[in-house]
């Protein structure tokens, strides 16, 4: 099969189109003929080597977490899917590889594709949808009437987070450039701050939840807009000792993570703010819950641009520029 691999870490490294073996499936896995995959910031961070300390991948590696496609083979103990099912999902860590024609995935990481969206739209959802679900439902327990600040509202996570927070009945503030205001208003944002002109920390106050996807400087500013007892959930770091423990990190890695997060954890504690780091996990059952929102149109996929499989490197470069509105998708079949 054809697949895009990268042989070594680096921001300037290109993915190489290669011939590789079709993966063999385990008892609880299905082989998926991939029709579409989307590109996430996580893919770029892995390629650049940003997560080498916590994700020890062997190179060369096929990138790609999000998939949409058709089941063409099932393992002997698979019970949730059959050949011919249209599915979508986020491949689990250390089992990624959706920039390819086929992938082997554990059945528990997949869900049946919603009937009212295309393969390309379906591929745009899993990683960002699960991130938002795990942030707002599991960690923040966001509820009606609360106020949430979602940074970078026009990005892949932001466009889904705004819709999901509004579905839960929250008041939503976000940041974006002025050219994206109309799109974000249509998604449900109540307050949109032009990050090029205004400082959000001077405008917002007494918020219950912040979803942080930006740098440490922005993270520190975000602490000041929360009310005592509020929560800030960061998907961009720094990781916490709790996270290090959950992945079974070595003693030296646990110490590095403890040290790099010490300042923000102490500042949050002094302000009576709950700080947590979220590194989302693949979860087919949660995707089934998200299906209900997609099929009822409470949440709509936001796809900026679709590239052909042969244009995968162009798609990666487009993502790296940081101006995508919603998700960038690669159409594989």
Both tokens assigned to 53: 């300390």
> In whole angstroms, what separates CA 169 from the centre of its chain?
22
Residue 6 phi/psi, 5-degree rounding, is: -125, 130
Is the pLDDT at 52 greater than 90, yes or no? no
Choose the weakest-confidence range: 50-64, 124-138, 167-181, 294-308: 50-64
Mean pLDDT within 277-294: 97
Closest to 92 measured CA to CA, from 106, 103, 102: 106
Determine the CATH number of domain 2-125+301-331: 3.90.180.10
Q: What's the rounded mean pLDDT across residues 45-50?
A: 94
- The answer on pLDDT for 309 being more than 90 is yes
* Annotated domain spans of the chain: 2-125+301-331, 128-277
Return the number of other C-beta atoms located less than 10 Å from residue 285's C-beta: 10
Q: What is the mean pLDDT of residues 58-70?
A: 97
Q: Give 126's pLDDT tier (boundaries 50, 70, 90).
A: very high
Q: What is the domain class of 128-277 according to CATH?
A: alpha beta
Q: Across residues 59-82, what is the average pLDDT?
A: 98
**Percent of the chain residues past pLDDT 90, beyond the cut:** 96
- As a whole number, mean pLDDT of residues 316-322 equals 94
Question: Phi/psi zone of residue 117: left (φ > 0), alpha (ψ -120 to 50 degrees), beta?
Answer: beta
Above 90 in pLDDT, residue 54? no
What pLDDT is attached to residue 2? 98
* pLDDT per residue as tens digits for the range 149-162: 999 999 999 999 99
pLDDT at res. 230: 98
Give the Cα separation of 36 and 118 in Å (integer). Answer: 10
- The pLDDT of 276-298, averaged and rounded, is 97
Q: CA–CA separation, 192 vs 210, rounded Å?
A: 14
- pLDDT, residue 53, reads 82
Residue holding tokens 């961009």?
A: 236
Cross-strand bridge partners of residue 147: 171
Distances (CA, A) of 80 to 103, 315, 319: 17, 33, 34
Q: What is the mean pLDDT of residues 119-144?
A: 98
DSSP reduced 3-state for 3: strand
CB-CB contact of 78 with 107 (8 Å)? yes
Q: What is the pLDDT of residues 176-197, one digit of tens each?
A: 999 999 999 999 999 999 999 9
Give CA torsion, residues 309, 47, 211, 278, to 10 deg.
110
Check if the beta carbon of residue 200 is closer than 8 Å to that of residue 174: no
User: What would the mean pLDDT of 56-85 be, rounded to a whole number?
Assistant: 97
Alpha helices in the chain (DSSP H): 41-48, 119-123, 126-133, 156-167, 181-187, 216-223, 241-246, 251-270, 284-295, 312-320
The residue whose two tokens read 């101006």 is 323
Name the pLDDT band for 288 (thresholds 50, 70, 90): very high
Q: Which of 167, 205, 207, 203 is nearest to 187 (CA)?
A: 167
Convert the pLDDT of each residue in 214-243 to its tens digit. Answer: 999 999 999 999 999 999 999 999 999 999
- DSSP letters along 187-250, please? HT-SEEEETTT--GGGT--SEEEEEE-S-HHHHHHHHTTEEEEEEEEESSS---HHHHHHTT--
| Domains 2-125+301-331 and 128-277 in one fold | no
- Is 90 exceeded by the pLDDT of residue 304? yes
Judged against a pLDDT cut of 90, whether residue 56 lies above it is answered with: no
Taking residue 50's Cβ as centre, other Cβ atoms within 10 Å add up to 17
- pLDDT for the residue numbered 32: 98
pLDDT at position 98, please?
98
Q: Which residue has the tokens 């024609």?
A: 101
Q: Provide mean pLDDT across the span 165-170.
A: 98
Residue 137 reports pLDDT greater than 90: yes
For residue 323, is pLDDT > 90? no
**Among the listed residues 7, 106, 105, 4, the one whose alpha carbon sits nearest the alpha carbon of residue 58:** 7
């Amino acid at each position: 099969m054809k697949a895009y691999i990268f042989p070594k870490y680096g921001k300037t490294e290109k993915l190489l189109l290669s011939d590789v073996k079709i993966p063999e499936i385990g008892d609880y896995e299905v082989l998926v003929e991939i029709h579409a995959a989307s590109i996430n910031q996580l893919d770029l961070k892995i390629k650049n080597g940003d997560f080498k300390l916590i994700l020890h991948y062997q190179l060369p590696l096929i990138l790609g977490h999000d998939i949409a496609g058709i089941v063409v083979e099932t393992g002997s103990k698979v019970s949730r899917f059959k050949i011919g099912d249209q599915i979508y999902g986020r491949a689990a860590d250390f089992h990624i590889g959706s920039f390819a024609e086929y992938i082997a995935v554990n059945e528990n990481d997949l869900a049946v594709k919603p009937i009212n969206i295309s393969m390309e739209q379906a591929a745009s959802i899993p990683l960002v949808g699960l991130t938002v679900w795990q942030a707002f439902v599991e960690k923040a327990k966001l509820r009606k009437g609360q106020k949430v600040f979602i940074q970078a509202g026009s990005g892949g996570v932001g466009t889904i987070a705004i819709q999901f927070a509004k579905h839960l009945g929250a008041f939503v503030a976000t940041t974006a450039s002025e050219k994206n205001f109309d799109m974000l208003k249509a998604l449900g944002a109540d307050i949109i701050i032009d990050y090029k002109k205004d400082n959000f920390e001077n405008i917002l106050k007494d918020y219950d939840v912040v979803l942080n996807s930006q740098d440490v400087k922005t993270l520190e500013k975000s602490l000041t807009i929360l009310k005592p007892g509020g929560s800030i959930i960061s998907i961009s770091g720094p990781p916490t000792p709790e996270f290090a423990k959950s992945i079974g990190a070595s003693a030296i890695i646990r110490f590095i993570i403890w040290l790099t997060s010490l300042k923000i954890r102490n500042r949050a504690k002094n302000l009576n703010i709950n700080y947590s780091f979220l590194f989302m996990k693949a979860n087919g059952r949660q995707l089934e819950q998200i299906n209900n929102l997609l099929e009822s149109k409470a949440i709509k996929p936001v796809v900026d641009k679709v590239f052909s499989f042969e244009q995968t490197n162009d798609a990666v470069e487009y993502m790296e520029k940081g101006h995508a509105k919603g998700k960038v998708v690669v159409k594989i079949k």
